[in-house]
């Protein structure tokens, strides 16, 4: 598979030429090429089995971020996204990062939570201890529902019991099943287990079970990434690396202390993560929900990343967030392009996929902070957005680049200006 994630002059190539580069790097077939280059990668018959009331399919651009080196391995990262500048920014930050060793990642075990809500009780703390006393029976029953998962080393590993003695609906107890879901996202598995143990829970507690559902705050299933960049790596023709580092630290601190800034800061992180999740057929909404809840875990919404200087003056960035992703089940297995995306990445486990996604989120965050601390976010973004505006104005073929370059040079990326430029080109 891929041995070098560097893609020199990749943007200058045509889509067909880009395909040839990726196909060679990842040893892809002509059938893979057809999936990417011809319409109908997702047949209506398959789509009809995925969701309800299907009337068609909806396409997003699928690009590749280059230059990523994760734990010493080069990775080509497919991203499905509609917004310009995301892939360019992530790729450029990855290019800088690889000069100082790339990204280092780690993750916890793939543990998901299923919640079982118990109401109609008078002694919630007594119920808590009764459930813990019956732990072995509860685990045995939960694990009887999925012998395949048990055979793979997964299964329900433990329980937690949370007490809410004074809710508006009276005393309430919530039991969590802690389930190792291996390479699955795990929603169906944990939901099934929660439902299967509910009669036993009612028998043990004398209460009534209401909700039996997974939690998307997957705080036991974390992915982490770290990057270190020296001032020499970060310097530009206009600014020293030390100046850029100080600007990044000021921008990060703003997000760390102010939830209004943190919301946009974290959205930028998810600009990098979500497209990876979408491209691989995973549930980006679950990842989003878990990430933002995790950002509030200390009672105040704050940054998902940290940025600091080490003893040598280098910039060190880290990210840690829930990453409930899978390689088996759902759209990951049914969508042909999701399967192809996983092959391009050459990932062997759900944990590895989550770690790569975290690294992309960290790279995207660095790109945004660096731009905000220097020339501003709009300069690079609008230059790339100019192609979209040219298309909106009706440009075709070579006209798209000609109009886009003119708009970018003028720093005037507007549809009405694009119409004027296009008219001038055609008059010539």
Q: Is 49 exposed, middle or buried (0-12, 13-18, 19+ CB in 10 A)?
A: exposed
Of these residues, 48, 82, 83, 308, which one is catalytic?
83
| C-beta of residue 308 within 8 angstroms of C-beta of residue 12 | no
Would you tell me the crossing angle of helices 398-410 and 415-427 to the nearest 10 degrees? 120
For residue 405, indicate whether it is catalytic. Answer: no
For residue 121, give the nearest of 178, 166, 177, 159 by alpha carbon.
166
Of these residues, 183, 283, 320, 352, which one is catalytic?
283
**Cα–Cα dist 65/345, whole Å:** 11
Residue for token pair 């993560």: 273
DSSP structure string for 35-101: HHHSS-SS-HHHHHHHSSS--------EEEEEEEEETTEEEEEEEE-SSTTHHHHHHHHHHHHHHTT
Of these residues, 176, 292, 335, 381, which one is catalytic?
381
For residue 308, indicate whether it is catalytic. Answer: no
- Greatest distance between any 2 Cα atoms in the chain: 85
pLDDT of residue 141: 98
What SS3 state is found at 258?
coil
* Six token digits for residue 343: 């092959």
Q: Which region holds residue 217: left if phi is over 0, alpha if psi is between -120 and 50, else beta? A: beta
For residue 267, indicate whether it is catalytic. Answer: yes
| C-beta of residue 385 within 8 angstroms of C-beta of residue 89 | no
pLDDT of residue 378: 62
**Cα–Cα dist 68/91, whole Å:** 7
**Cα–Cα dist 78/62, whole Å:** 7
Predicted confidence pLDDT, tens digits, the chain (428 residues): 556 999 999 988 999 999 999 999 999 999 999 998 888 899 999 999 999 999 999 999 999 999 999 999 999 999 999 998 999 999 999 999 999 999 999 999 999 999 999 999 999 999 999 999 999 999 999 999 899 999 999 999 999 999 999 999 999 999 999 999 999 999 999 999 999 999 999 999 999 999 999 999 999 999 999 999 999 999 998 999 999 999 999 999 999 999 999 999 999 999 999 999 999 999 999 999 999 999 999 999 999 999 999 999 999 999 999 999 999 988 999 999 999 999 999 999 999 999 999 999 999 999 999 999 887 656 665 666 788 788 888 998 888 888 888 888 887 888 888 898 989 888 88
**Cα–Cα dist 343/31, whole Å:** 13
**Cα–Cα dist 372/253, whole Å:** 13
* Six token digits for residue 272: 């990098």
pLDDT of residue 120: 98
pLDDT of residue 37: 87
What SS3 state is found at 228?
strand
| C-beta of residue 7 within 8 angstroms of C-beta of residue 66 | yes
């Amino acid at each position: 598979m891929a041995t070098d994630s560097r893609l020199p002059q990749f943007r200058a190539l045509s889509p067909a030429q880009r395909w040839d580069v990726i196909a060679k790097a990842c040893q892809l077939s002509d059938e893979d090429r057809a999936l990417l280059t011809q319409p109908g990668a997702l047949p209506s018959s398959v789509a009809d089995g995925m969701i309800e009331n299907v009337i068609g399919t909806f396409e997003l651009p699928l690009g590749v971020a280059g230059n990523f080196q994760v734990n010493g391995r080069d990775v080509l990262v497919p991203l499905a996204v509609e917004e310009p500048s995301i892939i360019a920014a992530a790729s450029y930050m990855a290019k800088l990062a690889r000069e100082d060793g790339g990204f280092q990642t780690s993750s916890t075990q793939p543990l998901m939570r299923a919640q079982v809500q118990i109401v109609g009780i008078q002694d919630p703390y007594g119920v808590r201890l009764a459930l813990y006393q019956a732990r072995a029976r509860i685990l045995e029953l939960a694990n009887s529902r999925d012998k395949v998962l048990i055979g793979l080393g997964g299964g329900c590993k433990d329980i937690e019991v949370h007490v809410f003695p004074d809710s508006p609906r009276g005393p309430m107890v919530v039991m969590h099943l802690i389930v190792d879901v291996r390479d699955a996202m795990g929603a169906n598995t944990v939901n099934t287990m929660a439902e299967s143990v509910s009669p036993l829970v009612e028998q043990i507690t004398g209460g009534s079970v209401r909700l039996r559902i997974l939690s998307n705050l997957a705080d036991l299933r974390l992915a982490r990434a770290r990057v270190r960049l020296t001032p020499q790596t970060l310097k530009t023709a206009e600014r020293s690396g030390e100046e850029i580092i100080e600007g990044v630290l000021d921008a990060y601190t703003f997000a760390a202390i102010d939830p209004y800034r943190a919301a946009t800061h974290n959205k930028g992180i998810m600009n990098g993560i979500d497209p990876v999740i979408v491209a691989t057929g995973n549930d980006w909404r679950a990842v989003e929900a878990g990430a933002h809840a995790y950002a509030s875990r200390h009672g105040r919404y704050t940054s998902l990343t940290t940025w600091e200087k080490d003893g040598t003056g280098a910039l060190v960035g880290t990210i840690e967030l829930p990453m409930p992703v899978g390689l088996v089940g759902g759209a990951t297995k049914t969508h042909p392009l999701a399967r192809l995306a996983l092959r391009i990445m050459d990932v062997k486990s759900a944990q590895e996929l989550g770690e790569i996604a975290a690294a992309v989120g960290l790279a995207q965050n660095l790109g945004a902070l660096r731009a905000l601390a220097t020339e501003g976010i709009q300069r690079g973004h609008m230059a790339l957005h100019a192609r979209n505006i040219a298309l909106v104005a009706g440009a075709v073929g070579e006209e798209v680049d000609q109009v886009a370059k003119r708009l970018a040079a003028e720093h005037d990326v507007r549809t009405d200006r694009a119409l004027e430029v296009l008219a001038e080109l055609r008059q010539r």
